[in-house]
Amino acid sequence: MVELAGRHVLIVEDEYLIAQEMVGLFRAAGAEVVGPVATVQGALELVEKAERLDGAVIDINLRGEMAYPVADALVKRGVPVVFATGYDVNALPARYDGLPACEKPVDVRRVARALFG
């Protein structure tokens, strides 16, 4: 398992139960969770305000709004991103070909490897 202790991980997820499960799993693995946040606007505000983000897990569709602006802001900031989705990962726009995607339910070990090696 990749070490998560002390890593600040942003969770962007609009389904409450899934968000809470991810928070619990990441905290149990030692991560400091930022969020969770359920909207694109809220996520963009957290990205702007957070002093430290070591990685992010982003649900692609947040209440009917695509979360690509959040991914773009994080990539611009140099923060590793993993998309967590129920969608076919091949449906992602070509500009995200280099970003990892995990199908829900999220496996924290797999996400940790994708974010931090």
pTM of the prediction? 0.92
Edge to edge, the sheet with strand 32-37 lists 32-37, 8-12, 55-59, 81-85, 101-103
Look up residue 87 and give its DSSP letter.
Answer: S
pLDDT digits (tens, 9 = 90+) for 63-101: 999 999 999 999 999 999 999 887 777 778 889 888 898
- Which ranges of the chain would DSSP assign to H, the alpha helix? 16-28, 40-49, 68-77, 108-116
Q: What is the largest CA-CA distance in the chain?
A: 34
pLDDT digits (tens, 9 = 90+) for 21-79: 989 989 998 999 999 999 999 999 999 999 999 999 999 999 999 999 999 999 999 99
